[in-house]
Structure 1
Amino acid sequence: MKDATPAQPGAADRPAPASSPKTDAATAASLTGRRRPFWRWLLLAAVVILIDQATKLWFEAEFTYGQRLNVLPFFDFTLVYNPGAAFSFLADAGGWQRWFFTLLGLGASGFILWLLRRHGDEPRFALAMSLILGGAIGNVIDRMSYGHVIDFLLFYWNNAYFPAFNLADSALTLGAILMILDELLKLRRRP
């Protein structure tokens, strides 16, 4: 014997409740894979981190501190440590800068993740943010593990030397250039 629930009067006559446009857009986005770009950009950042860390480990294993190997008349491989930031900024600050730059890198990484979540469907901007994220985390890993960043790329001309850097620094720089380019192109398109 079936349990019969009394039908509400007029229930069949009422239209189904309308879903909100926001819910429909979120559902459509997830069904069409619109949110997928976020994961692609994270994967790119992870690849940058892995390549950066692998090269640093290789140079640590194959070179002694300060050793140089001439590759081109203006470029050497080397192994040096930088306890500071870019251009050895605060390198001689006494140790507190390790945690300052670590926290700064982690904070910037969190902000970049938020930006990627919101703007993952903008390829140039998301590419820039992914490179910056990978570079920032690559250097944060060094600071947390060793107390300094491992650098191994050295450019110079005669006796003028550009500070040594690594692949994480290269990714950060390329990401910053792409971000500026993206903004300039957006400004050009605006009326």
Structure 2
Amino acid sequence: MYLRKTLIIVFLILLADQISKIYVKTHFQLEESVEVFSWFRISFIENPGAAWGTKLSDILPISERTGKLLLTLFRLVAIGGIGYWLWDLIRKGANNYLRVAVSLIFAGAVGNIIDSLFYGLIFNHSVGQVATFMAEDNYGGLFYGKVVDMLYFPMVDTTWPDWVPGVGGNRFRFFAPVFNIADTAISTGVGILLVFNKRAFAKPDPAETQTETAMAQAQEAAPEGPESGEAAKPE
């Protein structure tokens, strides 16, 4: 039962994440933006690196292409580690806080690695045009895709008054990052671990764990009759 619930969470997040990314990629040009509300826009950008657009080539003396490949390979290893952790939590019957949090982090990480692995292979570029799905003239090839971001919440987008020392006349935006559903899942999972840290990492009660496991096994093993909970009556 734990495995089934975890798979449902991961599947729904991946489905929503990939549908939104493919839609934006095939309907928007790069840096195109549409205002939904005054505080929310769909703004299409692509992230070639890690968080906040950081590239390994900006830190290490390597080419941008090599840095992109190393980053993608690192993400694959990290996802393998998170996936094993999640499987171990399910196997041990960890509490809901920890299972849900790690499920969200895992689903978000997988959602973004799909972009890095395959988008460069199945799309052409979006500069000055709307990309084509399964295009022959792909923009990067396997392992060299860019992560699609589109959710932008400029809750405050204004200009500092001229009288403010140092920043007067400069643009001020509150919550400027552009992100995607996978990023949201990761952030939510991390938030659960931080806010509910004690509950998430509390040692499980062996008796409670055994009871939950026995109940789950009984539900899965119960035969499906014409009416739930009633034994079949002889004719």
Task: Report the TM-score range of the alignment, normalised by the length of the smaller protein.
Answer: 0.7 to 0.9
- 1:42 matched to which residue of 2? 7
Tell me, what secondary structure is at the counterpart of 1:95? helix
Return closer, same or farther for 1:73/1:91 CA change in 2, 3 Å cut-off. farther
Q: Among 6, 9, 31, which residue is 1:66 paired with?
A: 31
Q: 1:129 maps to which residue?
A: 102
Query: Which residue of 2 is the match for residue 99 of structure 1?
Result: 69
Structure 2: gaps spanning 5 or more residues: 59-63, 121-144, 158-171, 204-235
| Rg (Cα) greater in structure | 1
* 8 Å contact kept, 2:55–2:68: no
Normalised TM-score (structure 1): 0.72
Alignment of 1:71-86 (within 5 A): 71-86=36-51
The equivalent residue for 2:85 is 115
Is 1:155 matched up with 2:169? no
The question of whether the paired residues in 2 share the 8 Å contact of 1:98 and 1:148 is answered with no
Kindly tell me the number of residue pairs found equivalent between the two proteins. Answer: 155
Structure in which a larger fraction of residues adopt helix: 1
Contact 2:43-2:150 within 8 A present in 1 as well: yes
Aligned partner letter, 1:72:
F
Q: Describe the shift of the 1:113–1:170 C-alpha distance in structure 2 as closer, same or farther (beyond 3 A).
A: same
The partner residue of 1:52 within 17, 27, 31 is 17
In the TM superposition, residue 165 of structure 1 has moved relative to its aligned partner by 0.7
* Equivalent residue, structure 2, for 1:169: 183
Q: Deviations over 1:109-155 (max 9, x none)?
A: 22222222222232111111111111101100101122210000112
Which portions of structure 1, spanning 4 or more consecutive aligned residues, are displaced by more than 6 angstroms?
A: none
What TM-score, normalized by structure 2, do the two folds share? 0.60
Q: Aligned-pair RMSD on alpha carbons?
A: 2.3
Q: Is the 8 Å Cα contact of residues 56 and 71 (structure 2) preserved in structure 1?
A: no
How far the C-alpha of 1:52 sits from its partner, in A, is 0.4
Assess if the C-alpha contact under 8 Å between 1:69 and 1:77 holds in 2. Answer: yes
Residues 41 and 153 in structure 2, CA contact (< 8 A), matched pair in contact too: yes
Deviation at 1:74, TM superposition (A): 2.4
What is the one-letter code of the residue matched to 1:37?
A: Y
Residue 196 of structure 2 aligns to a residue whose secondary structure is: helix
Aligned counterpart, 1:27: none
Q: For residue 186 of structure 1, report the CA deviation from its aligned partner.
A: 5.3
Report % sequence identity: 27
**Alpha-carbon distance between aligned partners in 2 of 1:181 and 1:162, rounded to the nearest angstrom:** 24
